Amino acid sequence: GEISLREHEVLSLCSEQDIEGWLEGVNSRGDRGLFPASYVQVIRAAEPPPPARYANVPVGGFEPLPSPAAFKPAAQQPPPEPFPPPPAGYPFPPYGGSYQPSQGSDDDWDDDWDDSSTVADEPGALGSSYPDYEAAGGGASGRYRLSTRSEPSLGPRGAGHPPGHPHPPGGGGAAKSSATVSRNLNRFSTFVKSGGEAFVLGEASGFVKDGDKLCVVLGPRGPEWQENPYPFQCSIEDPTKQTKFKGMKSYIAYKLVPSHTGQQVHRRYKHFDWLYGRLAEKFPVISVPHLPEKQATGRFEEDFISKRRKGLAWWMDHMCSHPVLAQCDAFQHFLTCPSTDEKAWKQGKRKAEKDEMVGANFFLTISVPTGPGASLDLQEVESQVDGFKAFTKKMDESALQLNHTANEFARKQVTGFKKEYQKVGHSFKCLSQAFELDQQAFSAGLNQAIAFTAEAYDAIGDLFADQPRQDLDPVMDLLALYQGHLANFPDIIHVQKGALTKVKESKRHVEEGKMELQKAEGIQERCNIISFATLAEINHFHKIRVRDFKSQMQHFLQQQILFYQKVTQKLEEALHKYDNV
Burial class (CB in 10 A: 0-12, 13-18, 19+), 426: middle
Spatial CA neighbour of 335 closest among 356, 320, 347, 350? 320
- β-strands 249-258, 265-268: how paired? antiparallel
Q: Coil, strand, or helix at residue 448?
A: helix
> CA of 85: how far to CAs of 35, 145, 220, 574, in Å?
21, 9, 51, 83
State the first-to-last Cα distance of the chain, in angstroms, to the nearest integer. 86
Spatial CA neighbour of 65 closest among 120, 103, 26, 19? 26
Burial class (CB in 10 A: 0-12, 13-18, 19+), 485: buried
**243-250: long-range contacts (C-beta < 8 A, 24 or more apart)?**
249/108, 250/300
Let me know: does 95 contact 72? Beta carbons within 8 Å.
no
| Euclidean distance between CA atoms 318 and 32, whole angstroms | 43
User: How much is the CA Rg of the chain, to the nearest whole Å?
Assistant: 32
In the sheet with 22-26, reading across from the earlier edge strand, the strands are 12-19, 22-26, 32-36
- β-strands 222-225, 214-219: how paired? antiparallel
Supply angle C-alpha 484, 336, 544, rounded to 5.
Answer: 30
| Euclidean distance between CA atoms 160 and 158, whole angstroms | 6
| Euclidean distance between CA atoms 501 and 182, whole angstroms | 10
| Euclidean distance between CA atoms 166 and 151, whole angstroms | 9
| Euclidean distance between CA atoms 26 and 62, whole angstroms | 9
Backbone angles phi, psi at 513, to 5 degrees: 75, 20
Does an H or E element contain 119, and which?
Answer: none
- Cα torsion through 368, 372, 373, 377, rounded to 10: 80
Let me know: does 83 contact 136? Beta carbons within 8 Å.
yes
| Euclidean distance between CA atoms 465 and 412, whole angstroms | 9
Binding site, annotated residues: 268, 270, 308
Backbone angles phi, psi at 17, to 5 degrees: -75, 125
> CA of 46: how far to CAs of 11, 195, 206, 440, 470, in Å?
16, 38, 45, 117, 77
DSSP 207: P
In the sheet with 265-268, reading across from the earlier edge strand, the strands are 234-244, 249-258, 265-268
> 329-336 vs 269-282: helix axis angle to the nearest 10?
170
Let me know: does 489 contact 390? Beta carbons within 8 Å.
no
